[in-house]
Structure 1
């Protein structure tokens, strides 16, 4: 019995030592070398803090460009994506907000806006989580000028949605304002 305790203590010490050294070798995702990198400079004009206000209603979002692994392929290539965070206030009451997470990155998965591309007519296509009702919608954000962008449309994604047993079925209602012009802050 005494020997068994001794072996267990030795095994735990070895395991703890290996875990400690393994943790020291972890690097943030940005430091992992990419096999290749496809920058998207067309995203630059959309980055920043944007806000719309009308009376006691407001919508604001923080958009940033982030270099990360390409989620569509598994070859360790990197690409730029837009990640964002938003807040919607109606009648002076915060309806939903993810702005508290604006200093996080893609890997932490706390974003509420995810942009993948810009069309030739300068419209950013992005997905937006409507936090207040669980819906996920497609946003078209139009670049107007260096100080203004416009939420041109918010639409539900077409097709069948899969909900596993026990999951709450989100509302299909789009509660965020659309056809609004936001000003760079």
Structure 2
């Protein structure tokens, strides 16, 4: 019995050490990893993402934009294809109001999904918080978004239009998104948000 316990402990320690040897910094511009083995963890080694966690708000007259960001540590990407790796990421949702009326709200998103989340950020290799996904679903558009920490209580959010891809589902013939992208954005493309 002691031999089985000792062998189990050795195997456990070996697996733990092996997993620790494949930590790759998100800020490593030359990162190469096999995203299908489950052995790699793309980590926020500097804890830069921690500055952005929380609820952030912008107001201007009767307009209000609230962005909620949550840091997911060691999120396991394994829902599609050959994906089987871990990564730190920021996910969340936004709400936009005018005259107290809710215009846009992504708070019902399932933030545990690997893909399809409307608000998702990573720490890129230039130590910048940039969007993997930021969708303005009211305008059927996706934006590139850069977040910049101005102070512990303020961040700047800049949105840049990207190319819009429309796909047709071969089985159903439906268009994704269902409508063509519309001009502009639902909310301002540049905002300074204050931590709540």
TM-score (normalizing by structure 2): 0.64
Give 1:95's aligned residue. 103
Note the residue ranges of structure 1 that are not aligned, 5 or more in a row. Answer: 1-33
1:171 to 163, 177, 182: 182
Q: For 1:37, which of 37, 41, 46 is the aligned residue? A: 41
Unaligned runs of 5+ in 2: 1-37
* Cα distance per residue 1:30-82 (max 9 Å; x no partner): xxxx5232321221111111011122110001101113234799363201111
Q: Summarize the Cα distance change of 1:128–1:35 in structure 2 as closer, same or farther, 3 Å threshold.
A: same
Provide the rounded CA distance (Å) in 1 between the counterparts of 2:85 and 2:107: 29
- CA contact 1:49–1:60 (8 Å) conserved in 2: yes
Instruction: Indicate how the Cα distance of structure 1 residues 163 and 73 shifts in structure 2: closer, same or farther if over 3 A, else same.
Output: closer
Q: TM-score, with normalisation over the residues of structure 1?
A: 0.68
Quote the residue 1:28 is aligned against: none
| Contact 2:160–2:189, Cα closer than 8 Å, also in 1 | no
Higher helix share: 1
Does 2:184 align with 1:184? no
Q: Find 1:161's aligned residue among 162, 165, 186.
A: 165
The number of residue pairs the alignment matches comes to 148
| Partner residue, 1:24 | none
